[in-house]
Chain A
């Protein structure tokens, strides 16, 4: 095949892909200069208050086993790359496990300590710290094998019109991304900065907290924290964001 034929084939292939797959844009790119400046400077990013807390917790021995994260994993820098491949399909459990859930598996199964509460400063701190180790790496979750069905379920949920507004995630974040809604640019809705410091919250939150707000926003029933479908959706979102750089801990308006 000649070079120009290759180019034509490539153009045809790209045209067949949905908009989001052609050019993935991080929510960072759709945020204003002030928000970007906050994320660019670790000293100006309030999320680092949680990272700092995570660093303390990483070394703290807890539970009946009297073990710290560091006792098993070593320096937190050893976690480089982990967040980039989460969430992951856990074959033994037959479901997707998010990074938050994985941290709590360590707590309950290996440290003999109670699970950390959802959205607690401690859990946000540890996940922000672990996520930070993958900063700059491309999001690259496993989507083949047993994970494929979970991704498909997540995508189906993403495309499902729901709630009193009868909107799907895809309608805003695939089809209308880049356009304006009230004073904001509609982002593509990628999970590459979580957990994030969100100005709207005046605090830190997980991807689950954000998804809950989206679902409540369209007046749909939010997914429960332990709903397996939540893991499926988070896995699909990560698959959809493949190649975007991890920005954890991000700042968003």
Chain B
């Protein structure tokens, strides 16, 4: 079952005032450095790319390495002058792409 991330984004913000975005994603972030019970290498499977934008304009992006903990957590800040749709998008080593959209109203 696809598990939704824990996502904290305000639905209403003030123009030009920074606000925090937090996300916690269900992903093992398998490092590729571990071995299984019979000695085989467990293949690397990490979320390597994370991007956050509003109506195509970049807020924040991250290139993640295996050194990012399981259930990756990111907290960053954004600042908007006008209302828009925030897109949070991430891709893992299996090519699995997930995204969340949040409409944010600037008041």
* Direct touching of A and B (C-beta under 8 Å): yes
CA distance A56 to B2 in the complex (A): 11
With a CB–CB cut-off of 8 A, which chain A residues contact B26? Answer: 49
In the complex, the answer to whether A43 meets B70 with C-beta atoms within 8 Å is no
In the complex, the answer to whether B71 meets A49 with C-beta atoms within 8 Å is yes
Binding site for B on A (CB under 8 A): 42-44, 46, 48-49, 52-53, 56, 121-122, 202-203
Dominant secondary structure of chain B at its interface with chain A: loop
With a CB–CB cut-off of 8 A, which chain A residues contact B22? Answer: 43-44
In the complex, the answer to whether B70 meets A203 with C-beta atoms within 8 Å is yes
* Count, A-B residue pairs, CB within 8 A: 35
In the complex, the answer to whether B24 meets A49 with C-beta atoms within 8 Å is yes
Among the 9-residue stretches B3-11, B54-62, B76-84, B92-100, the one with 4 or more Cβ atoms under 8 Å from chain A is B3-11
With a CB–CB cut-off of 8 A, which chain B residues contact A202? Answer: 28, 69-71
With a CB–CB cut-off of 8 A, which chain A residues contact B28? Answer: 202-203
CA distance A48 to B6 in the complex (A): 7
Number of interface residues, chain B, beta carbon within 8 A: 14
CA distance A202 to B66 in the complex (A): 14
Q: Which of B5, B22, B69, B70 has the most CB of A within 10 A?
A: B70
With a CB–CB cut-off of 8 A, which chain A residues contact B1? Answer: 53, 56, 121-122
Closest to B24 in A: A46
Given contacts A49-B26, A202-B69, contact A43 B8 (CB under 8 A): yes
CA distance A42 to B6 in the complex (A): 9
Judge if B73 is at the interface, Cβ distance under 8 Å. Answer: yes
Given contacts A43-B22, A43-B24, A44-B24, contact A49 B70 (CB under 8 A): no
With a CB–CB cut-off of 8 A, which chain A residues contact B24? Answer: 43-44, 46, 48-49
Closest to A201 in B: B70
In the complex, the answer to whether A46 meets B4 with C-beta atoms within 8 Å is no
In the complex, the answer to whether B6 meets A52 with C-beta atoms within 8 Å is yes
**B27 → A minimal CB distance (Å):** 10
Provide 26 A-B residue pairs closer than 8 Å at the C-beta atoms, listed in order of the A residue: A42-B6, A43-B6, A44-B22, A44-B24, A44-B73, A46-B24, A46-B70, A46-B71, A48-B24, A49-B3, A49-B6, A49-B24, A49-B26, A49-B71, A52-B3, A52-B6, A53-B1, A53-B3, A121-B1, A121-B3, A122-B1, A202-B28, A202-B69, A202-B70, A202-B71, A203-B28
